[in-house]
Structure 1
Amino acid sequence: MGYHWKSCPSSIRVFIFNLQKEITEIINGDFVGFYLHGSLAMGGFNPNSSDIDALVVTNNSMTVEVKRKLAKFILNCSNSPFPVEISFLNKEQLKSWQHPYPFDFHYSEFWRKRYEDDLLRGTYKFINEDINTDTDLAAHITVTNHRGICVEGDPIDEVFPSVPRSDYTSSILGDFQDCLENIEAEPIYCSLNLIRVFWYLKKGVISSKQEAGNWGLETLPQEFRITIRKVVDCYSNEKGCTNKFEKDELLLLKNYISDNVQKLLC
């Protein structure tokens, strides 16, 4: 079983509180709130494989100087020991919904090398005054609205806008397509994410990957149960995954879900 924010070990809570405290100091009085979404908010956090997924809201748009301070800090704390994926939004952006959604600053491990290079070389290629957009924010904000945790700050229902179902669906289908292509390379993440999207389109349930895996075990045809059981066991095992996956079993699961999702979308 994975951890939930309310019952997770103290080491995880200390990491989150320190992250929130340092960020609050860096943005220097402009803080509105710090919010968890993803596995820790929904009860499927695995300390060995899960990200800390968070949104931070500020009163005003960030200066480049603040963005660079944030990048330096998060580079030091992400993966020590938990990887961080975090987006910063301001209240002006949150007044009205659009898709894809704008943000002030974003960090994930995918961006590590780019930020390290910018800071090391004194360049502004990635950490600059540009306001970018992210299709994933439709999913992140939807999950925050339905399952999120306010660690500190204004209540969720007073901060975040409602996201149209069509935009949430568009957001999760982008990741769904990536998972169809990459299931052999990343069988755990991709299998669970495919099931999660299928469950949402079929029943309207916003779930964690662990919850989706458990639903798949109970609901999908018997021929897929062994594969899904291996996936779920790997995802929840803090000691790591020793299960091996055959190409054929992954393709069977992928094709079954893909065919059913296409029918639901028609």
Structure 2
Amino acid sequence: MRSRRVREAGADVLRRQGLDRHAAAGGEGVLPRQGAFPGAAGRHRLRLPRGLGHARPLGRRLGVRLHVASVEQAIKDGIVVDDGRTPRNRLQIGTLLNAIEEEGYTAAFGGGRRDEEKARAKERVYSHRDEFGQWDPKNQRPELWSLYNGRIHEGEHMRVFPLSNWTELDVWDYIRREAIDIPSIYYAHQRRVFERGGMLFTESEFNPLRDGETVTERTVRFRTVGDLTLTGCLESDADDLDKIIEEVAASRITERGATRGDDKFSEAAMEDRKKEGYF
């Protein structure tokens, strides 16, 4: 992954606001030398506010060119269509694929892990995407003995997941060891929330209350960050790394399974999105 061939081929560090992306982009042991890759960040206005603001400082520290792909701008430009019902996470698909095509990226590094969700569990470290940006889980390349095949045709690209075999606990251990700065939203804090579908959601103008729902202030933290209308938090008093690591070590359900509503639409919700070109 650090080879000159990969760097010269137009590889890009694909960075959203997720914890794994902070680990992949922020540590010394995962990515190559300073300035080896550009960086891309996906953004939309329904992001949780305290999860924003880390991409630009990190880009400056790593010496990379930051390319922000905005869902709102993609809607204005007619690249994706907002029908008022489609979650922002799905609108990110067209936004991402357009950015990859415009910039000519042939590889995009992400922070996905196999223990997060069953669709990611069967995805390769080098995940091939066809000329339409789509993933075919039935046509993946073997990766015996950690040997990776990065050959692609014109218009195709790779998604590369160097943290595939890590766990959530591995990520937190690495963050502590490397002293990586992460958004405060991952630590316990006071927040006005309401319960829906067994999860706690943030009070927001984008989250209108339904009958019977009430807002209370609780001490919570986020294990994963995404569209605030679909991303829940959990009650926690883990306000430092040691407490978070202790909490994660005792958990028996992944962060996506516990707090991501977009993965609960169907048994194959994540796989369906990934087939279309999702992160």
Q: TM-score range by the shorter chain?
A: under 0.3
**How high is the TM-score relative to the length of structure 2?**
0.25
Q: Which structure has the higher relative contact order (CA within 8 Å, separation 6+)?
A: 2
Structure-1-length-normalised TM-score: 0.26
* The structure with more helix, counted as a fraction of residues: 1
